[in-house]
Structures are given as C-alpha cells and as structure tokens.
C-alpha cells in the first residue's frame, strides 16, 4: 500500500509549503519523501485513477467555501450593523458550508481554530484572550444578547474566511484525505455535536450535525462508482445507513428549513442519533477498499 | 495474539466475512472439517472453519456439547452485555451468529478476530488491545431472550419455549429499566479484564447495525490461594463466601440434573443448553458495614470467616436446619441460607462482584453482585427467589435493580455455528 504513503506525502508537502514548517512537520515531510521515493510506477498509476474523484471533491469544497465567504459576509454585516436577530438567523446556516468541507478547512492548522475555536478548547490551554471567530460572536449573540464590542472579531472572521478560501485553491486533495475526512466528519458528530458541546450558547448543534453528515455523504457519492466495483454490499450498506441517519435527522427539522434546538432533544433522541452515526461510521471506515 | 494471523500465502487476504460469503458455510450446510483441505483454505488467508488451537496458552475449548462459561471454572473477570437485536431478517441474524462463531473461536484461541489488512487506510480489523496477552481462559457464552422470539421478522415464535418469558416480579424488586431484559446476551469471562472486554468489543463491532447495547456490567471474583492450590470459594462484597452449595460442575449427573436441558425437556433446539438468569443486585455497603458481626452472620446463616453453617466449623459441613439451642433455631428461619433451603430446587451460581463508582443521588458506593445462575428451567431460580420473599433478612441490605432471562444455546459442533439448531 505504498501508494497511500505517496499520496500522503503530497498533502504534507503542499500543506507545509502553505503554512510554513513546524519542527515536527519538517521531520514528517522528510520521512514521507523518503518513503515516496520507494514507490513504484504501478502505484502512481493507481493514484491517478482516483485523480478524477479527488478533483471532483476539490471542486465541491471550493463551491462550499465560495458560499461560506458570501454567507459570512452577510453575517458580519449584520453583526456590525448591531442587528442581533438577523445575525442569530444567519449564524447556523452560514456555518454549515464550513462544516461540510471541514476535511479541507482543517488542512490549515491555524485558520481552522481562528474561525471555529470553542471557548472550552482555549480555556484548557489558558488562551482565552486569543479567542476569535464564529463561536466568540455566538457568545455575544446568545449569552450577552449583543454585538457590541464584536466589530473587530467580525472583521477578522471575514478576513480569515477569505484567506481560507484563497488557500484552498492550492490544496492537493488525495483519496487519503477524502477517506480519512469522511470518517473524521462523523467522528466530529460523535464527539462534539451529539453532546451539544459544539454550539454551547446557540444550541444549533443539529445544523453542524447535518452538515458534517452531508460532507461525509458527498465523499461517498464521489467514490460510489469505484466502490461499486470493489464491494457492492458495502455500497448498499452505506446507502441504507446514510438514509437511516438522514431520516432520523429529518424528524428534528423545525419546518423553516432549520433544526430544533439541541436543548429540545431527550436522552433517548441523542442515543438514537448517536447509534445511527456509529452504525454508519463503521462501514464508512471500510471505504478505504477503494484504493486497493 | 499469535502470528498465525499473518498467513498470506497468495499475497492476497480475504477477510473471514468475505470467506463466509464465498463458501456459503452454514447457510448451505457445507461442513468443512478440520481434516478437510486446510492448506488450500489457508492459502486464501482465512479459514472458514476456525478450530480450537490446543497449543494456545491458558485456553478453554470453544467447541463441544455445551457452551463454555457455564461448567468451566469461574475466572476472575466478567463482561456481561445485553443486546437489542436490529437484524432485519432471520438470515441476517443467522449470519451474525455464524460470524460470531468463528470470531469466538479465534478469540478463545487468544488471537485477533480477523487478520489485519495490508491496506493501512483501513482501520485495523481487530481493535488490538489484547495483543501480547494469552487466551486467559476466555469463555464466551451466548443466549437469547424472550423478546427475540416476539420479533415477527424472524418467524421464531413457534420455537419459543413456554418457560422463556420475563421473570416474575419478586416481592422486594425495585428494577431499573436501564438494567432489564434483552434479545441477546454475551457473557465474556476471563482471568484478565482486558481480554474479556476485548472479546465483547470486537463481537459488538463486527455486528454493528445488527445489534445495539442495552446494558452491560463488569464483575470480578478474587480467589485466596490455599495451600493445596485448590481454588477456595470466593467472597462477595459482604465478605461471605458465595457458591458453596453449587452442583459439581465435573459430575455429569449433577450437571444433567440441575443445569443441562435434556432432550424432550424443552424445545428441541435447547437440548444441551441451559437458562441463564442475570440479576444486578445493589448491595448497601454502608448499612452493612455498621451491622454487628453477630447480626451479619444471622443474616446469611453462616459464619463469615469460615463460611461454615452457623454452629459448625467447616465450610462444607452439612446445614442442620432443625438444630436448636436454648429452644431457638441455630440457623434463624429468616436467614438467607435457611430460606434458600426451603426449596428443593438447585441452581449453578456463577456470580461476580461489581463496583461502579458512586451513586450520584446518595454519594454511596454503587457496588453489589452481578448474580448469574444457570439452571435447566427458570422455575428453579423463581422458586428459590420466591422463598426469600419478604422474610429474607438480607433484603435489608440489598436491592435487586436488574433482571434478565436468556436461553443459552447448546455447544457448537465443529463446522456448525452458534444457535444452528434454532435458526436452521
């Protein structure tokens, strides 16, 4: 499976070029380059076979992030205009574009936290004063009921989002990133969305939940044709399990294109959702047969 | 976990799951014996029939007339889990038990459930935490609950024995719905807690989507080492010996009388099987610990340290229920042992203590007994439990919180699978 290593090395190279090398990263890069030199021609061919899939995914991510920039612009506008209600309305739907394409957004180690860090993450590191991004404004909107004092945060958020969009152009998307990304999206759901810890003030966790699932499903859709050749049964199982989870989520739609507050969910509800995510995640992690 | 998993003769591995599909083992009734064509089959990197590996260290046999984990010695650890079954058809259910059959045999050989793939983008096929540990006397015991037969999708209603139904409400029961019932149970016992847990974890993982976990309970037993290396009866958390009067697991007659269902005694698929009663019994350690020794001993009807019946000195001396001193019964008639002796029924107790942190409501220990017993008919347990009724002095110190009844399949013949008699 050296081809996998080869693909990984491309990602490492490209991301480290973009964000600069940390000490660890350069070591990884050296190791990966060394390994990639051992790969052979046939494997490069196989990697090329999935190039189309990788390109399709990159296009999808760019579309999502294009929209993310537009929606963030509107959100930031509302914040700066002091329109709390409007900003609250725009908050969760705007974030969905980011959540859908998170495997790519995460490639940029410093941008992701600047846009999406939760207070709890920073508190743990004693970095509260460096808090920025969507969740900081979420705190203002829902906890304090104001946008006052958040102009600077709003401006920086828009700059960061635009920077993210610009950098994505240069990302080398690999099947590895896609496969790992799909599972990571569900892991995100399992560890923070299903516990209500992502949107601790707005309780709009189900929006992120849905977007993460859509992001994972998109990757599956892209691989589907190739996957069908490797394991038909797996495709059937994944289709079925995505449908089950989506049906379950649909029960919590609020009738206005959005989702009910996380606070309305009972323990039974979160257990059912969590089970459906785990049942989808297990076969989803088998999607790696696509590179064989 | 032995290196035998690493066989890779054609440079291509086929997972056991795939192999099952290819050979159609079980469903088509194809039986490939141990002496079949192991070399060729191994060339596929997976053998559709996993045999007991007698060279494995600290191994208990998977195959045989009865399931393991019943007559086998009680090890130090248990992970007991009750499952809800979500399989959509009987076929799916059967395939799950076929997969579990091979995986159980591998696990009890102290190996990975499945060989690891060469594809490093795949999560490992085995979760791996038992690597480097031997089989640790792992036993896996599978049973089915009454609710499984009520699921019309499986068409098993006609195979449900009439005695397989929820246990009746007993006088002092205060059951918590969180610890009641289940469609399927797995009792995983081992001398190592990680080996016991690893087995359940991997079985559940491979059946994800077909089962969900309803409740689970870990438990432990500790054995004082006696001079002749014979295992002594373990003590429960009240410090009393538990299991003294068990039937002799190595005497077939005793086991046939008490535990193993004989042909004609129930539905045909259960011949060689048994009933498992699981009760999660909370023990109020704080109140017990402020009780005088004399009162503690009167509660059980035995001496604490020796385990002997009251008024005697040896653990295994016979109980004399009629014996009086100063016009009073030596063994009080409201003692646990006295009441248990009022019924002729016997059961095989295989209990474990548990300690689950603290009760959030009271701040007291959440500790007690995972009572597990095996008997050929649930009424053996029911009669004994009813005899305790409201009188049992022990009631003051315990509360039954969990309850479930399962019918355990007979043992698996080589080439067959768990529950074959029920599902075929």
Whether the predicted pLDDT of A196 surpasses 60:
yes
Is residue A288 less than 8 Å (CB to CB) from chain B? Answer: yes
- Kindly report which listed range (A198-207, B234-243, B249-258) carries the lowest average pLDDT score: B234-243
Lowest mean pLDDT among A64-68, B135-139, B197-201, B319-323: B319-323
Q: Which of residues 207-226 of B touch A (CB under 8 A)?
A: 208-209, 212
Under 8 Å CB pairs connecting chains A and B tally to 32
In the predicted model, what is the mean pLDDT of residues A90-108?
94
Q: Which of residues 283-302 of B touch A (CB under 8 A)?
A: none
The residue written with tokens 């002496």 in the block is B35
Residue B16: predicted pLDDT: 52
> Cα–chain-centroid distance for residue A106?
7
* Residue range B159-165: mean pLDDT, rounded: 98
Contact B76, B220 (CB under 8 A): yes
Instruction: Provide, rounded to the nearest whole percent, the portion of chain B with pLDDT above 90.
Output: 77
Between chains, do B121 and A278 touch, taking CB under 8 Å as contact? Answer: no
Tokens read off for B273: 């099987």
At B284-306, the pLDDT tens digits run 999 999 999 999 999 999 999 99
CA dist B248 and B278 (Å) reads 21
Is the pLDDT at A7 greater than 70? The verdict is: no
pLDDT of residue B18: 53
Query: Angle CA(A290)–CA(B2)–CA(B6) in degrees, nearest 5?
Result: 35
When pLDDT is averaged across residues A23-35 and rounded to a whole number, the result is 42
pLDDT at position B67 over 50: yes
For the cut 70, the answer to whether the pLDDT of residue A270 exceeds it is: yes
Least confident of A231-240, A241-250, B1-10: B1-10
Q: What is the DSSP letter of A190?
A: I
**B297 touches B310 (CB < 8 A):** yes
CB contact under 8 A, B122 and A285: yes
- Taking the domains of chain A in order of start, what are their residue ranges? 2-16+45-291
Q: What is the pLDDT of residue A36?
A: 43
pLDDT attached to residue A121: 83
Q: Residue A41: is it exposed, middle or buried by C-beta count within 10 angstroms (0-12/13-18/19+)?
A: exposed
Least confident of A12-21, A211-220, B8-17, B151-160: A12-21
Beta-carbon contacts of B343 under 8 Å, excluding residues fewer than 6 positions away, are B383, B384, B387
Q: How confident is the model at residue A142 (pLDDT cuts 50, 70, 90)?
A: very high
- Token output for B278: 């699981």
Query: Would you say residue B174 has pLDDT above 70?
Result: yes
User: What distance in Å separates the CA atoms of residue B259 and residue B117, rounded to the nearest whole number?
Assistant: 42
- For testing contact with chain A, the best of B8, B209, B214 (most A CBs within 10 A): B209
Quick check: B40 contacting A, CB < 8 Å? Answer: no
Percent of chain A with pLDDT over 70: 83
Mind listing the pLDDT tens digit for each residue in B181-237?
999 999 999 999 999 999 999 999 999 999 999 999 999 999 887 776 677 888 999
Note whether A289 contacts B: Cβ–Cβ < 8 A: yes
Residues 6+ apart with CB under 8 A from B77: B189, B190, B191, B192, B193, B195, B196, B218, B219, B220, B221, B352
CB contact under 8 A, B121 and A283: no
Q: Which of B122, B205, B209 comes nearest A288 by C-beta?
A: B122
Least confident of A98-112, A256-270, B342-356, B376-390: A98-112
Residue A15, pLDDT above cutoff 80: no
* H helical segments located in B207-251: none
Distances (CA, A) of A167 to A8, A106, A163, A170, A285: 18, 12, 6, 6, 28
Q: What value does the mean pLDDT take over residues B237-250?
A: 89
Q: Is the ipTM of this complex over 0.90?
A: no
What DSSP element (H or E) covers A8?
A: helix A2-19
**Helix (DSSP H) and strand (DSSP E) numbers for chain A:** 14, 0
| Separation between Cα atoms, residue A265 and residue A270, nearest integer Å | 7
Instruction: Say if residue B417's pLDDT is above 90.
Output: yes
Q: Cβ contacts (< 8 Å) between B212 and chain A: which residues?
A: 275
Query: pLDDT > 90: what percent of chain A?
Result: 73
The residue among B193, B283, B300 whose CA lies nearest residue B244 is B300
Q: What pLDDT shows up at residue A239?
A: 98
Residue B80: what are its φ and ψ, rounded to 5°? -110, 130
Name the pLDDT band for A221 (thresholds 50, 70, 90): very high
Confidence class of residue B39 from pLDDT cuts 50, 70 and 90? very low
Please list every residue in chain A whose beta carbon sits closer than 8 Å to the beta carbon of residue B118.
Answer: 1
Other C-beta atoms within 10 Å of B143: how many? 27
- What's the gap between Cα B57 and its chain centre? 22
How far B212 CA sits from the closest chain A CA (Å)?
8
Q: Is B123 on the interface with A (CB under 8 A)?
A: yes
CATH code that applies to domain A2-16+45-291: 1.20.1420.20
- Is the pLDDT at A48 greater than 60? The verdict is no
Got the DSSP string for B79-139? EEEEEEE--SSHHHHHHHHHHHHHHHHHHHTT--SSPPPS-TTSPPSS--TTTT---TT-E
Whether B390 has its CB under 8 Å from any CB of chain A: the answer is no
Put simply, the chain A residues between 136 and 175 with a CB less than 8 A from any chain B CB are 175
Q: Taken in order A209, A214, A220, A223, is the CA torsion positive or negative?
A: negative
Residues comprising chain B, all counted: 424
Q: Is the pLDDT of residue B42 over 70?
A: no
Establish if B119 touches chain A: CB-CB under 8 angstroms.
Answer: yes
Strands (DSSP E) contained in A79-163 are none
Chain A residue whose CA is closest to B178: A268
Q: What is the pLDDT of residue B358?
A: 94
In this structure, of A26-30, A182-186, A221-225, B161-165, the range with the lowest mean pLDDT score is A26-30
Please name which of A243, A83, A240, A219 lies closest in space to residue A150, comparing C-alpha atoms.
Answer: A83
A292/B contact by beta carbon, under 8 A: yes
CA-to-CA separations, A270 to A92, A197, A266, B17, B171, in angstroms, rounded: 20, 13, 6, 31, 35
pLDDT computed for residue B231 by the predictor: 77
DSSP secondary structure letter of residue B412: B
| pLDDT at res. B188 | 98
Region for A141 from its dihedrals, namely left if φ exceeds 0, alpha if ψ lies in -120 to 50, beta otherwise:
alpha
- Residue A42, Cβ neighbours under 10 Å: how many? 10
Whether the CB of A184 is below 8 Å from some CB of chain B: the reply is no
Which of A8-17, A142-151, B386-395 has maximum average pLDDT?
A: A142-151
**Residue-level pLDDT at B2:** 42
Q: Is A112 on the interface with B (CB under 8 A)?
A: no
Is the pLDDT at B103 greater than 50? The verdict is: yes
Please state the rounded mean pLDDT for residues B146-153: 97
DSSP letter for each residue of B361-380: TT-SEEEEEEEEEEESSHHH
Alpha carbon of residue B40 to chain centroid: 36
Q: What is the percent of chain B where pLDDT is above 70?
A: 88
Whether B93 shows a pLDDT value over 50: the answer reads yes
pLDDT over 50 (residue B157): yes
CA distance A76 to A245: 33
More confident: B12 or B284: B284
């Amino acid at each position: 499976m050296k081809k996998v290593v080869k693909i990984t090395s491309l990602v490492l190279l490209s991301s480290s070029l973009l964000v600069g090398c940390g000490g660890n990263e350069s070591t990884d890069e050296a190791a990966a380059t060394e390994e990639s030199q051992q790969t052979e021609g046939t494997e490069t061919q196989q990697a090329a076979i999935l190039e189309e899939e990788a390109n399709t995914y990159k296009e999808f991510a760019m579309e999502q992030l294009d929209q993310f920039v537009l929606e963030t612009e509107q959100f930031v506008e509302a914040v700066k205009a002091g329109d709390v209600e409007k900003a609250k309305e725009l908050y969760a739907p705007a974030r969905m574009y980011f959540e859908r394409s998170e495997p790519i957004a995460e490639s940029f180690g410093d941008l992701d936290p600047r846009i999406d860090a939760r207070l709890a993450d920073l508190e743990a590191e004693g970095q509260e004063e460096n808090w920025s991004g969507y969740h900081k404004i979420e705190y203002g909107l829902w906890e304090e009921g104001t946008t006052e004092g958040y102009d600077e945060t709003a401006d920086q958020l828009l700059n960061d989002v635009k920077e993210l969009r610009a950098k994505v152009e240069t990302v080398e998307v690999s099947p590895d990133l896609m496969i790992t990304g799909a599972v990571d999206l569900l892991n995100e759901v399992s560890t923070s969305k299903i516990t209500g810890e992502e949107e601790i003030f707005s309780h709009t966790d189900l929006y992120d939940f849905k977007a993460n699932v859509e992001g994972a499903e998109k990757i599956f859709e892209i691989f589907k044709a190739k996957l069908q050749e490797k394991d038909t049964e797996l495709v059937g199982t994944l289709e079925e399990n995505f449908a089950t989870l989506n049906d379950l989520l649909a029960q919590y739609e609020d009738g206005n294109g959005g989702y009910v507050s996380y606070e309305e969910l009972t323990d039974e509800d979160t257990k059912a959702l969590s089970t459906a995510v785990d049942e989808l995640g297990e076969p989803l992690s088998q999607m790696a047969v696509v590179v064989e | 976990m032995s290196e035998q998993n690493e066989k890779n003769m054609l440079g291509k591995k086929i997972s056991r799951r795939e192999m099952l599909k290819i050979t159609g083992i079980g469903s088509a009734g194809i039986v490939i014996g141990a002496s079949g064509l192991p070399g060729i089959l191994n060339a596929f990197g997976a053998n559709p029939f996993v045999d007991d590996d007698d060279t494995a260290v600290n191994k208990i046999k998977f195959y045989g007339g009865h399931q393991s984990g019943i007559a086998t010695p009680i090890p130090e650890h248990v992970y007991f889990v009750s499952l809800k079954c979500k399989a959509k058809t009987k076929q799916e259910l059967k395939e799950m038990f076929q997969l579990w059959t091979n995986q159980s045999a591998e696990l009890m050989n102290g190996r990975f459930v499945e060989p690891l793939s060469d594809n490093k983008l795949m999560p490992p096929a085995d979760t791996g935490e038992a690597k480097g540990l031997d089989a640790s006397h792992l036993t896996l015991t599978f049973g089915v609950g009454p609710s499984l037969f009520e699921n019309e999708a499986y068409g098993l209603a006609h195979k449900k024995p009439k005695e397989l139904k929820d246990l009746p409400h007993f006088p002092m029961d205060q059951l918590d719905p969180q610890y009641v019932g289940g469609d399927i149970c797995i009792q995983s016992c081992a001398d190592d807690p990680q080996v016991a847990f690893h087995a359940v974890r991997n079985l559940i993982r491979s059946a994800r989507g077909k089962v969900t976990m309803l409740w689970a309970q870990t438990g432990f037993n500790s054995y004082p080492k006696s001079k002749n290396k014979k295992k002594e009866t373990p003590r429960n958390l009240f410090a009393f010996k538990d299991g003294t009067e068990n039937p002799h697991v190595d005497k077939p007659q005793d086991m046939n009388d008490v535990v193993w269902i004989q042909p004609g005694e129930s539905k045909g698929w259960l011949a060689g099987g048994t009933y498992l009663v699981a009760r999660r019994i909370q023990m109020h350690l704080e109140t017990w610990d402020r009780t005088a020794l004399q009162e503690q001993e009167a509660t059980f009807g035995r001496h604490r340290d020796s385990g002997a019946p009251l008024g005697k000195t040896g653990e295994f001396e016979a109980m004399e229920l009629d014996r009086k001193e100063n016009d009073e019964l030596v063994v009080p008639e409201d003692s646990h042992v006295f009441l248990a002796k009022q019924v002729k029924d016997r059961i095989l107790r295989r209990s474990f203590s548990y300690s689950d942190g603290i009760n959030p409501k009271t701040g007291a220990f959440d500790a007690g007994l995972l009572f597990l017993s095996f008997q050929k008919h649930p009424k053996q347990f029911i009669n004994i439990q009813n005899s305790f009724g409201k009188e049992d002095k022990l009631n003051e110190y315990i509360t039954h919180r969990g309850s479930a009844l399962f019918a355990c399949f007979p043992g698996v013949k080589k080439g067959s699978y768990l529950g074959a008699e029920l599902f075929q």
